[in-house]
């Protein structure tokens, strides 16, 4: 659900950028309360995983594909929606700047939608649903899966409102179109989120917040991220994602070409014209490494002085 340049108006782009910037400043300050010695590698690995996972589009009905947003998953793994905001925002910035995925002018809107609203909706719903289910840690994957799926639909609704306010498409058409397709994508989001948490709870509890040993073993998560970014990305669905499909159906897809901020990058759209499929693998690996490094650095900067 990466909004490209041209889909939203200048006032909407400006307002969402301002709100996102203020929210991220607050997130940096609030994250100081949550980040400790183990936070740098965990934040780095989570960010790299989200980047890699977002490269894997899975098919849904009607020739449309979707991919993991990951806001709910990031918030749970990091144990903090504030840290998850930083992680998700890092992914969106790297995608826009290094891979021309999502518009530069729409970066504020993309961060607001998925890295702020999506994260908080998923976090609050997970906490609420888990309490309704009895508060057991064993119910966390179920609660998080439901919350993650709903968060995708909420983000889609917010995106539709931004398109309508921008005059891109009528609200009575774009809202049901965005909501309908993202309900299906939300089901995939929920299944992936729940599945990852089930695996982590059984195999790698040290990667989850709570009563666990300090994280030390890098091999399995690093190999997993590299396999996703470098190998599984090659078999991702080529169908347009939810927003792109709606734009095609409602005939405003051409706006992305009319208003585009050119980004000079050899790996635009995760491809390289002279490398073929290998270019996609290299782009995935490069993005995962940069995501890890950027998030690791952020954790070192914002961590409390006594950590």
Who's near 125: CB < 8 A, 6+ residues apart?
Answer: 72, 143, 146, 147, 150, 151
How many domains does the chain contain in total?
1
Q: Is residue 149 part of a domain?
A: no
Confidence of residue 77 (pLDDT cuts 50, 70, 90): very high
* pLDDT at residue 260 tops 70: no
Distance CA 28, CA 61 (A): 39
**pLDDT tens-digit readout, 135-161:** 888 899 999 999 999 999 999 999 999
What range defines the domain where residue 40 resides?
10-124+214-302
The confidence band for 54, taking pLDDT boundaries of 50, 70 and 90, is: very high
CA distance 89 to 56: 19
Whichever domain contains 297, its CATH number is 1.10.1760
Q: What distance in Å separates the CA atoms of residue 297 and residue 307, rounded to the nearest whole number?
A: 15
Answer positive or negative: Cα dihedral of 212, 72, 91, 278: positive
Q: Is residue 167 part of a domain?
A: no
DSSP 286: H
pLDDT at residue 282, rounded to an integer: 94
Does residue 17 sit within a domain? Answer: yes
Instruction: List residues bridging with 66 in a β-sheet.
Output: 58
**pLDDT at 126 exceeding the cut of 70:** yes
Q: What pTM does this model have?
A: 0.93
Q: How confident is the model at residue 213 (pLDDT cuts 50, 70, 90)?
A: very low
Question: Tell me, what's the pLDDT at 304?
Answer: 66
- φ, ψ at 241 (rounded to 5°): -75, 180
Q: Decide if pLDDT at 217 tops 90.
A: no
Integer Cα distance of 106 and 202 in angstroms: 39
Report yes or no on 276 lying in a domain: yes
CA 158/CA 172 separation, integer angstroms:
14
Look at residue 23 and tell me if it is in a domain.
Answer: yes
Asked whether residue 286 carries a pLDDT value surpassing 80, the answer given is yes
| pLDDT for 170 beyond 80 | yes
45 is a domain residue: yes
Residue 247 lies in a domain: yes
pLDDT for the residue 272: 86
Asked if residue 153 is part of any domain, the answer here is no
Nearest to residue 70, comparing CAs of 149, 167, 168, 177? 149
* Residue 215: predicted pLDDT: 56
């Amino acid at each position: 659900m990466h909004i490209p340049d041209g889909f939203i108006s200048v006032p909407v782009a400006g307002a969402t950028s301002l709100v996102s910037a203020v929210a991220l400043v607050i997130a940096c300050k609030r994250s100081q309360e949550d980040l400790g010695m183990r936070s740098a590698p965990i934040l780095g690995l989570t960010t790299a995983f989200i980047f890699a996972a977002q490269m894997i589009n899975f098919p849904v009905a009607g020739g449309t594909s979707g991919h993991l947003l990951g806001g709910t998953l990031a918030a749970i793994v990091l144990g903090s929606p504030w840290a998850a905001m930083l992680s998700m925002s890092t992914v969106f910035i790297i995608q826009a700047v290094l891979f021309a995925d999502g518009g530069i002018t729409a970066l504020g809107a993309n961060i607001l939608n998925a890295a702020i609203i999506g994260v908080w909706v998923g976090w609050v719903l997970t906490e609420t649903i888990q309490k309704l289910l009895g508060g057991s840690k064993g119910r966390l994957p179920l609660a998080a899966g439901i919350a993650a799926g709903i968060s995708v639909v909420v983000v889609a609704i917010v995106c539709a409102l931004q398109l309508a306010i921008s005059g891109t498409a009528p609200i009575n058409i774009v809202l049901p179109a965005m909501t309908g397709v993202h309900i299906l994508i939300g089901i995939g989001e929920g299944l992936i989120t729940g599945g990852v948490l089930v695996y982590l709870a059984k195999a790698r509890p040290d990667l989850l917040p709570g009563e666990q040993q300090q994280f030390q073993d890098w091999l399995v998560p690093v190999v997993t991220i590299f396999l996703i970014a470098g190998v599984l990305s090659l078999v991702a669905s080529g169908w347009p994602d939810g927003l792109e499909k709606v734009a095609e159906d409602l005939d405003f897809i051409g706006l992305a070409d009319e208003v585009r901020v050119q980004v000079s990058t050899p790996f635009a759209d995760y491809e390289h014209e002279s490398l073929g499929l290998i270019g996609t693998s290299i782009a995935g690996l490069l993005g995962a490494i940069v995501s890890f490094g950027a998030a690791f650095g952020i954790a070192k900067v914002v961590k409390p002085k006594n950590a």
